[in-house]
Amino acid sequence: MPPYPPQGDPVADPRGSFPTSDPPVANPKESAGRKAAELVQDGMTVGLGTGSTVYFTLLRLAERIESEGLSMRGVPTSEDTAQKARALGIPLASLEDVQTIDLTIDGADEIDGQFCLTKGGGGALLREKVVAYISKREAIVVGRDKVVERLGTIFPLPVEIVPFARPMVMRAISGLGAEAKLRTLDSGEPYHTDNGNEILDCAFPDGISDPATLEAELDRIPGVVESGLFVGLAQICFVGEEDGSCTVLEL
């Protein structure tokens, strides 16, 4: 008789857990990620965000391609998403192939009441912002714990920078009132994005009171490639709840 719970590669289950005799535990990321995939219609070009919540969107899209014959192409926002989408059989296009994107579905680290976001926990903020910029509609998928009154209160703000400018950029960001910390790997080496850049995780002691102004101030610092502040880019948000339901919010 096979062992129970099944012994296997935990990566096969994105939640990293196996069923037990207890009732299944609802996963807010799963309900949000899967529900948002229902927005995709035949013939759409779809921006595919990055992260563990969007992974459930990819799973649902792959199911729909298989069961309904859904015809779509995805534009991935990271190498990680491209690899996962390919493995699931989702057809892909690159940014060079498209001028606009019908709909993008992406995760976020935090979202406030005006749908301003912090992003970049997974390091993909630059491509995510480029894809959001050319998208006609941006849908965000999050668990309820990511919905905040004020950005910057549960996660530091990721800022992608050019490595050689790091000391100067860190000083400039301190001047904006934040403590900037270089993102590193377990080895202590700097983490590098898909674009070969570094990330500074910037903690603002009182959070971010004015996201639009801060975004502009960060963009003015030479050596900053892009910040993880997304202002005015998202229109719809799927919030996964603890009971397994999903609340849909629209601006």
Catalytic residues: 128
Smallest gap from Cβ 29 to ligand 5RP, in A, equals 6
Q: Cβ contacts of residue 125 below 8 Å, gap of 6+?
A: 119, 158, 160, 226, 227, 228
Which residues partner with 76 through β-bridges? 48
Q: At its nearest, how many Å lie between ligand 5RP and the CB of residue 55?
A: 8
One residue of 47, 74, 76, 120 binding ligand 5RP per CB under 6 A: 120
How far apart are the C-alpha atoms of 224 and 205, rounded to whole Å?
21
Instruction: Pick between residue 85 and residue 108 the one whose CB is nearest to ligand 5RP.
Output: 108
Write the CB contacts of 32 (distance below 8 Å, at least 6 apart in sequence): 53, 56, 141, 142, 143, 238, 239, 240, 246
First-to-last alpha carbon distance for the chain, in angstroms, is 53
Query: Site mask, ligand 5RP, residues 42-71, x = CB under 6 A?
Result: -------xxxxx------------------
Of 12-20, 97-105, 116-124, 240-248, the window that binds ligand 5RP (rule: CB under 6 A) is 116-124
Asked if 131 and 77 count as a contact pair (C-beta separation under 8 A), the reply is yes
Question: With binding defined as CB under 6 A, does residue 123 bind ligand 5RP?
Answer: yes
121 binds ligand 5RP (CB under 6 A): yes
Residue appearing with tokens 């102004």:
213
Q: Which residues bind ligand 5RP (CB under 6 A)?
A: 49-53, 106-109, 119-125, 128
